[in-house]
Amino acid sequence: MSFAGKYELESQENYEDFLKAIGLLSAKTDSKVQTEVLQDGDDFTWTQKVSDLTWFNKFTAGQECELVTMNGSKFRAPVSMEGGKISVQFPQYLFTAEMVNDKLVMKCITPGEKGVTFTRVSKRI
C-alpha cells in the first residue's frame, strides 16, 4: 500500500514519556501534527510539521541514507521496508511506519527493559 498523502494527527500514546526518554523535554506536546509523504516506488520524502517546527527526510527503502532527527542531528542508517512496514534505527529509538486501514501508524520504541513505545496514528486529509 502506498504511503503517499497528507495526514493529520488523530491520536497518540506515550508521547510525553517518549520525549523524556530521548531528552527532548522542551518539545511541544499539545501541537497539531501534520505529516506529508511523497512516494515514488522505493523513494520517499517524509515531512513532519509539529507546531512551528518542520523537518524532512528523503530516503530510499533498501539503502543506507542520511537522515535527520527531531532535534536536527544528522545520522546515517539503512532504511528497510518489509511487509509494507518501513523501519529505521534512529540513534535513540527504532522508528516504524505502516498503513493500517488507510491510517498512517508510526511507532518509536526506545531500547531497554524500561523502553517506551510511542504510537502516533494519523488520518489522511
For residue 96, give the CATH number of its domain. Answer: 2.40.128.20
pTM, rounded to two decimals = 0.90
Three-class SS state of 69: coil
Cell of 36: 506529508
- pLDDT, tens digit, 9 for 90 and up, residues 27-58: 665 668 899 999 999 999 999 988 777 889 99
Looking at residue 23, its pLDDT comes to 84
Residue whose C-alpha cell is 509539529: 50
Which residues have a Cβ under 8 Å from the Cβ of 15 and sit 6 or more positions away?
A: 29, 118, 120
Looking at residue 28, its pLDDT comes to 60
How far is it, in rounded angstroms, from Cα 13 to Cα 119? 5
Sheet holding 33-40, edge to edge: 53-60, 43-50, 33-40, 5-13, 117-124, 103-109, 94-100, 85-89, 74-82, 64-68
Q: Which residues form the domain of 108?
A: 5-124
Task: Name which of 23-32, 69-78, 87-96, 100-109 the model is least confident about.
Answer: 23-32
> Residue 72: in which H helix or E strand, if any?
none
Mean pLDDT of 88-104: 95
Number of domains the chain contains: 1
**Are 55 and 72 in contact, with CB atoms under 8 Å apart?**
yes
